[in-house]
Amino acid sequence: MNLTLFDKDIEAEEDLLEHCRNKLKGLPKGTLSSYVYDGKQYYKSYHQGKQRYLGRGDKSEVIKLKKRRLLTEIALQCENNLELMRNLRAGYKVCDPFQIQSNLPVSYQDDDRELIYDLGLADHIRSGEDYRDSEKLYHTLSGITVRSRIEALIADLYTQKGITFIYEPTIVLDNGVTLHPDFGVYSASEQRYKYHEHVGLLSDSNYKKSYLWKLDQYTSAGFFPGYDIMFTYEKPGMQIDFRQISMMIDIFMS
């Protein structure tokens, strides 16, 4: 379940409830009853033990009382929905194998995470620790090694912000294509992994083709840039503004 979208559903339900309550304020109180006489339908209203004859269905008070009943029923349904949704939101936890394993007693933890892979619990996202391992020469604060100085600095940003990340995870898209984004980052607020690709060397034609192909794969698989995946860029000959990247991370992970 996508908790961000679920929160938006709750907000929409709250907005509908507030709308109904505001509309009810200007409507008369009471209930309707109707009867048929000479083939025509007539209405009466009841309120505080008093009965009033209203006439045909085109009368203003008849229409207003019909609106009141409809709004009241919608408001009641919204209240019931919100109670269920809030209870689900409060108790729901994503079954993320990596997060659950990290919270187990030390005796049950598995540093290389192979237990998770052997059980088929993370086929959609695998650690990239063995992906082109010989090219990882730059050390990071978290103890892992990465391919470039820029990626090391980005990894350190995630570490300093207390954000759980996996370097170059293996993800398999719905169409069977396997990709290795630079970072899989865990959003605690959404209880899911999002992805971060840092794009450099666009001046290299082969690198550019590879980037455009990956971008097409991500978007075709339903990844929404800025929401499911974030791209940061560097331009040859220009110094990278890590303050800007840090702010982008904050927005992306909020």
pLDDT of 69-101, one tens digit each? Answer: 999 999 999 999 999 999 998 887 767 676 677
Tokens of 18: 């507030």
113 Rama sector, left if φ>0, alpha if ψ -120 to 50, beta otherwise: left
Token pair in block for residue 62: 């008849």
Is 72 in contact with 64 (CB distance < 8 Å)?
no
Average pLDDT, the chain: 85
Q: Does the pLDDT of residue 1 top 70, yes or no?
A: no
237 contacts 203 by C-beta, under 8 angstroms: no
Residue pLDDT, tens place only, 213-223: 999 999 998 89
Whether 51 has a pLDDT exceeding 80, the answer reads yes
CB 103 within 8 A of CB 93: no
Residue 226 identity? G
Q: Strand 31-37's sheet: what is its strand order?
A: 31-37, 40-47, 50-55
Between 107 and 158, name the one with better pLDDT: 158
- Helix axis angle for 3-24 and 60-91, nearest 10°, is 150
Take residue 65 and report the two structure tokens written for it.
């009382």
Residue with the two structure tokens 């840092």: 198
Helix axes 149-160, 242-253, angle to 10 degrees: 50
pLDDT of 125 > 60? The answer is no
The CA-to-CA distance between both ends of the chain, in Å, stands at 18
- Confidence check: pLDDT of 6 > 80: no
Is residue 149 within 8 Å of 102, Cβ to Cβ?
A: no
* Position 179 pLDDT exceeds 80: yes
Assess whether pLDDT exceeds 90 at residue 229.
Answer: yes
Given this model, what pLDDT does residue 114 score? 65
**pLDDT over 50 (residue 34):** yes
Q: Which pLDDT does position 131 carry in this prediction?
A: 46
Which domains are seen in the chain, by residue range? 3-91 (no CATH), 124-253 (3.40.1350)
In the block, residue with structure tokens 């590879």: 210
DSSP classification of residue 225: B
Tokens of 133: 């391992």
248: burial class by Cβ within 10 Å (0-12, 13-18, 19+)?
Answer: middle
